[in-house]
Amino acid sequence: MKRLLVIALCCISTVNCMQQNINQQQQFNPKQHQQTFQHQNSFNRQAENKRSFNPFKAVRTAGKICRSGTNPIIHSCTAAVSNVLHRLIRKSFSCADKLGSTLNAVSITKAFIAINCLVFAAGKYFEATKGYDPLFRAGAKVNDLIQYYGEYWRLITPIFLHANIQHLLLNSISLYNLGTDIEKIIGKKRVAAILLISGLCGNIASYNFNHEISIGSSSAIFGLLGALLQIGIDFYQITGNASISKEAMFFALLNLAYGIINPQIDNAAHVGGFIAGFLTARILNFKSFME
């Protein structure tokens, strides 16, 4: 946003300069023209000698040159602003590279857990101050609101909501243990895709097979389990070692069995997320990635 604002200011300064200089073209003086270029060259040398570049100060200086009466030629003013724009673009790209490197260092799994914790904290704050949680009311999976009122965002927002601190902690621990390890194998972008796709598909399955209100990121966690199963299959085909796929199947079956015993658990979301994670992993072709 800051880069766009600075470029917009430069463009406005250029337009104003051009409008002023069009009215001054009839008063052209060769000696004055030479003085203008000398003034411009001195400005360029001073700007290059400075170690720290202040874009806003440079824009103001260019604007003063454009508005001065000793600058009657359009292209001389345009050269001043073009020089500023060139340095602005270089500085903005440098900042963008630093921001990109910072974002690349951030773990998607940890960011997902942090978002869940922030949403939970905000919900508890609203619950303490207003007596209810508006985030839960606006984001939980409620079949009637999806079917009759078209609130389709409720198919994705439940993965960021949790019923209590125990629910949040258990899901966060599972996410951390699975997600961070899988990120090291397949990368952040693939993990992000699996989390969102499996969370969405799990809630779609819950919408079709479970008519109760549902929240939680367990569908996304089961998506990671499904992806881990596919990773294990690919790893077995490459190395002949089936330990990863066996562990993934063991934990998936164990959690599904616990879901059958506990009626409060949304097994439809778990199964839908697991299948979606497995299929997403096959589509992303992890085998070629690991080779």
Which residues have a catalytic role annotated?
A: 218, 270
d(CA 143, CA 262): 21
d(CA 72, CA 21): 5
Beta carbons within 8 Å of 280's beta carbon, 6+ residues apart: 193, 194, 197, 198, 223, 226, 227
Residue 114 half-sphere exposure, CB side, CA atoms within 13 Å? 6
Burial of 200 (0-12, 13-18, 19+ CB in 10 A): buried
d(CA 115, CA 97): 25
Q: Residue 214 forms beta bridges with which residues?
A: 141
* Nearest Cα residue to 226 out of 244, 207, 249: 249
d(CA 93, CA 243): 46
Angle between helices 165-186 and 108-130 (to 10 degrees): 160
